[in-house]
Chains A and B, each alone.
Chain A
Amino acid sequence: MIGDQPSTLLDKIWNNHLVHADPGAPDLLYVDLHLLHEVTSAQAFDGLEVTGRTVRRPDLCVATVDHNIPTTDRSLPVLDSIARRQMEVLRENAQSHGIRLFDVDDERQGIVHVIGPELGLTRPGMVIVCGDSHTSTHGAFGALSFGIGTSEVEHVLATQCIPQRRPKAMEIRLKGDRPIGISAKDLILAIIGEVGVSGAAGHVIEYTGPVVGSLSMEERMTICNMSIEAGARAGMISPDTTTFEYLKGREFGPSSDEFADLTMEWGSLKTDDGATFDRSVVMDVSDLEPQVTWGTNPGMVTGISGRVPNPDEIEDEEVRDSAERALTYMGLGPGTPMESINVDRVFVGSCTNGRLEDLREVARIVNGKRVHSGVHAMVVPGSTAVRHQAELEGLDRVFKDAGFEWREAGCSMCIGMNPDTLSAGERCASTTNRNFEGRQGRGGRTHLVSPATAAATALAGRFTDPRSS
């Protein structure tokens, strides 16, 4: 409640962070945690230098290198001199402004949206920003967390605040029983297919319903991560005992003495009965099957037993044009069964699906089997900690024995800024978040899938329902 008014989770966090409000102007929100990486920060620090401003709260900033870092042997120098320079500049900026950096040789290095939660930096009720659109990931903890541009990174560095118009609140309620073998990735792909890639623009999504409550934290992160692919400003899930359990014992998490008080406070971070959302969507997940994208945006998606659609049957002219263009780019004909499409590459990793549970799921499916002879498959853990834990559990052996490459942590082929890219015409089953033209390399053809579907597809050499392998 805010006063005696039933309120949404969004409103509660918003009001808790409201520093200043002027009629007509955006609200000024306080930022609790500012995450930084090498690709979108250099120009922001440069801007501070030019204007003679300083970093207001270096203690609330945390930086790491993830986007263009190689995932091969870390003892070798980075061959790409421009990428190397970008990482050096982050190092220099972190040092001169007193910002903690988890550098390439740090055990805590990893994709910024994997390490935030893993280190206990991400907490319920926070406002978190980062110069990266997948910052929505942290909403899994009941935080308001969103991506910003470089000018805004500079703004937050200088003021620890961000001016924002209050977005609308959208509820996506998942009902029914989640079928066995249906992953969080399948849920979010189906949601984007339903809502559309701009369907949640101007909104913050709150995911609700018993299906959501039954998800693990890592599954919740996968869902919130891809909220941006539906156009949402952020995604969030109200914190509960699953959230609190996850936070225990994390390096930067609350101490055990703080825990009782904090969980009490965090318990109020929920949308009250009687609060109204600006928009609500209800989806029944009972009949969902594993999802695969066929086109060049995440909303172009179908079930694994489905077929590539026929653009001629699409009424809206713009949607039809997009579908036609997508099929040409993807080299697919209308009506092709998804399960008949062969792949050249399989990629497991990213801030969407590069966490331990994802890797365990892949290992469970490929254990004792071999990747299809026509497929080049790789696993890139989301963080160095994930990599080490996976190695402790022997998952690396399972992957290598099956024919996967096992790499160091980073964004890797999700964005293809480092040497991990697709060649023109190569088709990839990928556990990442974007299948845009050229995303994984010019001319590369990306199909978004869950880790389980990626694993089953790697073994069969074509898209395969993981429930049958």
Chain B
Amino acid sequence: MEPFRVHTGVVAPLDQADIDTDQIIPKQFLKSIAREGYGDFLFHDWRTEDSGVINPAFILNRESYRGASILLTGRNFGCGSSREHAAWALRDFGFRAILAPSFADIFRENADQNGLAALSLEESVVRELLARAQSEAPLRLTVDLEQCTVADSGTLVASFEIDDFRKMCLLEGLDRIGLTLRQVEAISSFEQQRWPNRPEAAPEEPF
């Protein structure tokens, strides 16, 4: 996983609350067995008209947001289905960070697993930045995970809080499975202690 430390990029403002994962990547694109290649389908039904042609009004299709790598959006981003394809699509499109007042739990975890920094800012700060990203496009911001700050050409515009463990995983691009496997003895001993008392958890014969 690519580590996330400091990233500077153009901000795309998507001013809407409760954006669900069906919007981020519609279900017809979930049939692939690959972990990559979803960028073209990001926000598919919003980016294209019913006829399949590009919808010029949609924010990511506008010239001033071309190459945007920071998504700024409303509260509860990523609600709904657990599809990690949503995080893959955002990453494949070129986003490195998502700034919003809040995120749905499963989405935030999926973002973490892919080095996509889903960071919560105060709602009032998000509103302010949304207005600026619309009126001053292209607005370029710098997200510094180490310092927990968002800055505009060196001027601090926001700071955020993040759980130390999440921060470390993102900063280091850590393999989470590798971390758990360090506890393999604890897992084995848990399995041995648990099952004599918990026959329901251990089928007598493998399925």
Q: Is the CB of B114 within 8 A of A201?
A: no
Q: Is the CB of B106 within 8 A of A149?
A: yes
Residues of A close to B163: CB separation below 8 A: 165
Knowing A83-B31, A98-B206, A198-B79, say if A151 contacts B16 (CB, 8 Å).
Answer: no
A279 interface residue (CB < 8 Å to B) = no
Chain A to chain B contacts (Cβ below 8 Å), 7 pairs? A47-B35, A163-B179, A198-B76, A198-B79, A231-B104, A416-B28, A437-B22
Q: Is the CB of B200 within 8 A of A254?
A: yes
B158 interface residue (CB < 8 Å to A) = no
Stretch at the interface among B58-66, B147-155, B180-188: B180-188
In the complex, A414 Cα to B113 Cα: how many Å?
27
20 more CB-based (< 8 A) A-B contacts, given A30-B191, A59-B206, A436-B22: A39-B30, A39-B31, A46-B33, A46-B35, A53-B177, A98-B206, A125-B200, A132-B82, A148-B106, A149-B84, A152-B109, A163-B180, A252-B207, A262-B200, A319-B17, A321-B17, A417-B30, A424-B50, A434-B20, A438-B22
Contact of B80 (CB < 8 Å), options: A19, A25, A133 = A133
Contact of B76 (CB < 8 Å), options: A148, A152, A158, A197 = A197
Q: Is the CB of A99 within 8 A of B201?
A: no
Tell me the A residues contacting B by CB distance below 8 Å. Answer: 19-20, 24-26, 28, 30, 32, 39-40, 42-43, 46-47, 51, 53, 56, 58-62, 67-68, 80, 82-83, 85-86, 89, 98-100, 123, 125-126, 131-133, 147-152, 154-155, 158-161, 163, 165, 167, 197-198, 201-202, 228, 231, 233, 252, 254, 258, 262, 297, 318-319, 321-322, 325, 415-417, 424, 434, 436-439, 442-443
Q: Is the CB of A258 within 8 A of B199?
A: yes
Q: Is the CB of B177 within 8 A of A159?
A: yes
Q: Is the CB of A322 within 8 A of B28?
A: no
Q: Is the CB of B32 within 8 A of A149?
A: no
Q: Is the CB of B82 within 8 A of A40?
A: yes
Knowing A68-B31, A262-B200, say if A198 contacts B206 (CB, 8 Å).
Answer: no
Determine the residue in chain A with the shortest Cβ distance to B206. A59
In the complex, A149 Cα to B87 Cα: how many Å?
10
Contact of A442 (CB < 8 Å), options: B15, B50, B74 = B50
In the complex, A157 Cα to B201 Cα: how many Å?
16
Min C-beta distance of A93 to chain B, whole Å = 10
Q: Is the CB of A19 within 8 A of B17?
A: no
Q: Is the CB of A198 within 8 A of B75?
A: yes
Contact of A59 (CB < 8 Å), options: B27, B81, B164, B203 = B203
**Please, how many residues of chain B have a CB less than 8 angstroms from a CB on the other chain?**
58
B92 interface residue (CB < 8 Å to A) = no
Determine the residue in chain A with the shortest Cβ distance to B48. A442
In the complex, A424 Cα to B48 Cα: how many Å?
14
In the complex, A228 Cα to B112 Cα: how many Å?
20
Residues of B close to A443: CB separation below 8 A: 50
Q: Is the CB of B45 within 8 A of A43?
A: no
B144 interface residue (CB < 8 Å to A) = no
Determine the residue in chain A with the shortest Cβ distance to B107. A149
Residues of A close to B113: CB separation below 8 A: 149, 151-152
In the complex, A449 Cα to B108 Cα: how many Å?
29
Q: Is the CB of B82 within 8 A of A318?
A: no
In the complex, A116 Cα to B15 Cα: how many Å?
40
Determine the residue in chain A with the shortest Cβ distance to B164. A24
Residues of A close to B31: CB separation below 8 A: 39, 68, 80, 82-83, 85-86, 417
Q: Is the CB of A438 within 8 A of B180?
A: no
Min C-beta distance of B78 to chain A, whole Å = 10
Contact of B176 (CB < 8 Å), options: A155, A258, A416, A417 = A155
Q: Is the CB of B18 within 8 A of A322?
A: yes
B110 interface residue (CB < 8 Å to A) = yes
Q: Is the CB of B17 within 8 A of A322?
A: yes
Determine the residue in chain A with the shortest Cβ distance to B186. A20
Residues of B close to A321: CB separation below 8 A: 15-17
Q: Is the CB of A43 within 8 A of B81?
A: no
In the complex, A354 Cα to B164 Cα: how many Å?
43
B140 interface residue (CB < 8 Å to A) = no
Determine the residue in chain B with the shortest Cβ distance to A443. B50
Q: Which 6 A-B pairs have the closest CB atoms?
A: A100-B207, A151-B113, A198-B76, A149-B84, A149-B110, A42-B33
Q: Is the CB of A26 within 8 A of B200?
A: no
Q: Is the CB of A30 within 8 A of B187?
A: yes
Min C-beta distance of A99 to chain B, whole Å = 7
In the complex, A424 Cα to B83 Cα: how many Å?
24
B2 interface residue (CB < 8 Å to A) = no
Residues of A close to B190: CB separation below 8 A: 19, 30
Give the one of A30, A100, A125 with max B CB within 10 A: A30
Q: Is the CB of A258 within 8 A of B200?
A: yes
Contact mask for chain B residues 142-184; partner A; CB cutoff 8 A; 1 contact, 0 none: 0000000000000000000001110000000000110111011
Contact mask for chain B residues 25-40; partner A; CB cutoff 8 A; 1 contact, 0 none: 0111011111100000
Min C-beta distance of B115 to chain A, whole Å = 11
Residues of B close to A47: CB separation below 8 A: 35
Contact of B26 (CB < 8 Å), options: A32, A148, A297, A438 = A438
Residues of B close to A161: CB separation below 8 A: 180, 183, 187
B136 interface residue (CB < 8 Å to A) = no
In the complex, A438 Cα to B19 Cα: how many Å?
13
Q: Is the CB of A85 within 8 A of B82?
A: no
Contact of B187 (CB < 8 Å), options: A32, A159, A258, A416 = A159
B122 interface residue (CB < 8 Å to A) = no
Min C-beta distance of B111 to chain A, whole Å = 9
Min C-beta distance of A130 to chain B, whole Å = 8
